[in-house]
Amino acid sequence: MKGSTKTGLPMIRMPFRSLVSIAVIAALIPIAAQSATPTSASSNDDTSREFKTVMQKRGETAVPVKFVMSVSGMGSEQQQEGQTQGTLVSADGLILVPGRVVSLDLGAFTHGDSGGLGGAPSAKSGQFRVRLAGSDEWLPADLVTRDTELGIAWLRLRHPTGKLPFVDFTDLSKVVVGTQLFTVMRTSDQFGSVPIVRAGYVLGETTVPRPTFLVDGSPGFAFDGDGKPAGYVDVDLAGLMRSRSSSGSIGMDMSDSVFSMIPADRIGRVTAQASVLPVVKSTDSDDADPLPPPVPARKHAGLAPPTPEAPSPAMPGQPSPADDAANPEAPQPANAAARKTQPAESTDEKKQHGG
């Protein structure tokens, strides 16, 4: 074995097949993760009421999402189908999904070592399909954009019908340390594709590397006991690998074995901006639909700041992007970090978008 980590541990060069497995497992984490907190409803009437409330209000907003992931590197490429969890965040079919489902840098798992073959390994996905509540049909969806800083992405149903149930951001939960969280998920076909609720707690909060809550429970969109949006829970895979490496041993400091939750107000702001973007041109073989017309008087170079002529709609009761720009301490999802979130477009695509 050649090379070593910064801690002096030997660098392991993984077979390409192992990288494919890692990529798919990483995308499936929201399905496979186990809650650290008992999730069965106790005999306590309040807990039973909260489970029932969240299920009734938010159960239909959770949708399973299938995708085909292409893993390339080390001079080879393989494809693998996977499934993850998504959350409807608009009545016309905008869906929030983990960013790693769209693309995943596998360098964190190989310490950037590609063996000199084909560059650093990476994984990208397409052919997205979504199954709505009460339906047996898998509907096509297309990528809108992703936010690499927050680790989230948005898809849009290609042919939405009717007004869909969705999570809005007009009435948010007041989250503090100790708040009980309820994450809504939908099972696979093995268990009938039914909604389930898993419980967890807010364990702490941090401002490094960004303002987030530290929680246990399950990845996905989390709500409080009244069904109000609390935030988006996920796991930072690269961060876990860095923690393991910096510990100086094979073991990992268990204090870092927590999920992070992006506050719902910040999710609402970036979702409002993503909602006006066109989809990225689909690469699906069955896509005969033209791209939607570009939004007038707006440039689509990622989640860019709104122009004075066409401001992005602010969510009711929340700071607008302009307010964020005036406050340097406020989260800036529509500025520097989010500006690099839109996948690169070809010249032809820019012409179709009116760019």
Classify residue 326 as exposed, middle or buried by CB count within 10 Å of its CB (0-12, 13-18, 19+). exposed
Integer-rounded Cα radius of gyration of the chain = 20
**Taking Cα atoms as reference points, which of 77, 89, 80 lies closest to residue 28?**
80
**Residuewise pLDDT in 10s, the chain (355 residues):** 444 444 333 333 455 565 555 555 555 554 434 444 444 444 467 889 999 999 999 999 999 999 999 998 878 889 999 999 999 999 999 999 999 999 987 776 655 555 444 567 889 999 999 999 999 999 999 999 999 999 999 999 999 989 999 999 999 999 999 999 999 999 988 999 999 999 999 999 999 888 899 999 899 999 999 999 999 999 876 665 665 555 555 555 677 778 999 999 999 999 999 999 999 976 555 544 443 443 333 333 345 333 333 333 333 333 433 344 444 343 333 333 333 444 434 444 444 444 4
DSSP 245: H
Check: CB of residue 218 under 8 Å from CB of residue 33: yes
How far apart are alpha carbons 281 and 273 in whole angstroms? 19
Check: CB of residue 159 under 8 Å from CB of residue 4: no
Q: What CATH class is the domain 16-282+296-352?
A: mainly beta
Paired tokens of 38:
């008992």
Give the helix/strand (H/E) hosting 350. Answer: helix 347-352
Residue type, 309: E
139 strand-pairing partners: 130
Check: CB of residue 19 under 8 Å from CB of residue 71: yes
DSSP 175-201: --TT-EEEEEEE--GGGTS-EEEEEEE
* Domain range summary for the chain, segments of one domain joined by +: 16-282+296-352
**Residue that is written with structure tokens 């297309």 in the block:** 142
186 strand-pairing partners: 195
